[in-house]
Structure 1
Amino acid sequence: MENKPTTERSSNYDHLEKMSTQELLTNINNEDKSVPLAIEKQLPAIEKLVDVIVTRMQEGGRLFYIGAGTSGRLGVLDASECPPTFGVSEDWVIGLIAGGDHALRHAVENAEDDLEQAWKDLEKFHISKKDVLVGIAASGTTPYVIGGVKRAREEGIATGCITCNDSSPLAAAVEFPVEVVVGPEFVTGSTRMKAGTAQKLVLNMISTSSLIKMGRVKGNKMVDMQLSNKKLVNRGVKMIMEELKVEEEEAKRLLEKYKSVRKVLRNFDSEN
Structure 2
Amino acid sequence: MAIKPRRSVLYLPGTNARAQEKAKTLSADGLIFDLEDAVSPLAKDEARACVSHTLTNSGYGHHELIVRVNPLSGPWGHADVKAVAKLDIDALLLPKVESAEEVEQAKEAYLAAGGREDLPLWIMAETPRGILNLDAVLGASTSIDVVVMGTTDLAKELRVPPDSERLGLLNALSHCITVARAHCLDILDGVHLDFLNSTDFDSICAQGRRLGFDGKTLIHPCQIAEANRAFSPNAAAVNHAEKVLAAWQEAEREGKGMVVVDGRLVENLHLEEAKRLLELHTAISGR
Task: From the CA coordinates, give the structure whose radius of gyration is larger.
Answer: 1
Higher helix share: 1
Higher relative contact order (CA 8 A, sep 6+): 1
Answer yes or no: same fold by TM over 0.5: no
TM-score by length of 1: 0.31
Higher strand share: 2
